[in-house]
Amino acid sequence: MSAPLYTWLVEPLPRDVRQSVDKLRQAYDVVHVALMPDVHLSSNVCVGTVLATTHTVYPAAIGSDIGCGVATVCVSDDPHLLDDKESAGILLRALYEFVPAMRHRRAPTLPKELARELSHPALTKRISRDGQAQFGTLGSGNHFLEFQAADDGLWLMVHSGSRSMGESIRDWHLRESKSGLAPLGVDTPQGQAYLHDLRWALEYAKASRLAMLQAASKAIGRISNIAPHWDTLVDCHHNAVALEEHAGRRLWVHRKGAIPAHDGEQGLIPGSMGTCSYHVQGRGCEPSLCSCSHGAGRRLSRSEARHEISIGSFEQQMEGIWFDHRRARQLVEEAPLAYKDIGKVMRAQHELTRVVRVLRPVLSYKGR
């Protein structure tokens, strides 16, 4: 018997996405599936999928970048701080120095709350090997650090996760699985070990985003003597699992490329590189398991984007936004036209979330 399916879509599901979702609905202990408007194909479980189970957890329904999410803070009351080319250039160069893309040359000390052992010595060893060197680093692909303008000031937003630690944790707990859709009983030693490591990865990802916000704030010091308004800080995961109550049932809600949107809960929905992002509040829609999209969602694969979008077209799409033009060839994969229309995505999920603030990108910094 298939689990019930609820959808908020901007377009009909492609055949490969439909097949993946149908398989998921028939998986063991899956009792509810909801698709967000940014849904798109990914291994085993599509990005933009929310599912619920009663006594199992599916690592594939969380993904490899456990705890990936977005954080933002208002850094200035002046939304025009980066209007001039000279200031933007100084800041962009400083970001390369203060917020490395991949690894620190000299690994920083992790926050005290992260100094604990994982479920196996092999994973704990990777904390000192990879976790420290990658803490407070951005990563690649669709991860970004962006300055954004709103009516009430200039905001700083960062999108990143648990880096290679999340992938190591997922792969370790699925090492004996012949299928990506391998559930772990939450009351079994294997399930408890995975949840233990997942909680660490969530804390790591959140602390890493905060470290990047703090580092980027220091970079701003190269152009202006300002201090972030830390009371405006918002942070939310979009690759996680949590035990929640829905319709009188205690369920393990998995969100892969989706954020919690309980009634009144704050959330962040970034657009693609070059398009607006949104601060939102959840409406608590139960059929969606109180969730909403985590972004715009890819329209083209990376290889399709490279073939279909020229450098000239990309630069035209990015007009009015500061970025490193030397890297235009690599960045075409992240061009706005490689993603769905964020405006349509937001309209499709009107019953899931309400918009609090719209932010226009001013300066975009991305890894390789």
| Percent of the chain at pLDDT exceeding 90 | 92
Average pLDDT taken over every residue of the chain: 95
pLDDT 10s digits, 49-95: 999 999 999 999 999 999 999 999 999 999 999 999 999 999 999 99
**Confidence (pLDDT) at 95:** 96
Q: Where are the domains of the chain?
A: 5-299+339-366
pLDDT exceeds cutoff 80 at 335: yes
b/e per residue, 77-112, with b = 16+ CB within 10 A?
eebebbeeeebbebbbebbeebbbbeeeeeeeebee
pLDDT 10s digits, 157-197: 999 999 999 999 999 999 877 677 999 999 999 999 999 99
- Per-residue pLDDT band at 368 (split at 50, 70, 90): low
DSSP assigned state of 127: I
DSSP assigned state of 74: E
Residue of 119, 114, 166 lying closest to 139 (CA atoms) = 166
pLDDT exceeds cutoff 80 at 10: yes
| Secondary-structure class of domain 5-299+339-366 per CATH | alpha beta
pLDDT 10s digits, 222-245: 999 889 999 999 999 999 999 999
pLDDT 10s digits, 86-119: 999 999 999 999 999 988 888 889 999 999 999 9
Burial of 302 (0-12, 13-18, 19+ CB in 10 A): middle
67 neighbors 41 (Cβ within 8 angstroms): no
SS3 readout for 252-317: EEEEECEEECCCCCEEEECCCCCCCEEEEEECCCHHHCCEEECCCCECCCHHHHHHHCCHHHHHHH
**Confidence (pLDDT) at 102:** 87
CA 301 to chain centre: 17
pLDDT exceeds cutoff 80 at 283: yes
**Confidence (pLDDT) at 106:** 85
pLDDT exceeds cutoff 90 at 24: yes
pLDDT 10s digits, 123-140: 999 999 899 999 999 998
Residue 159 has which token pair? 């999108």
Mean pLDDT for 250-258 is 98
Please give the model's pTM, rounded to 2 decimal places.
0.96
- Per-residue pLDDT band at 1 (split at 50, 70, 90): confident
pLDDT 10s digits, 304-329: 999 999 999 999 999 999 999 999 99
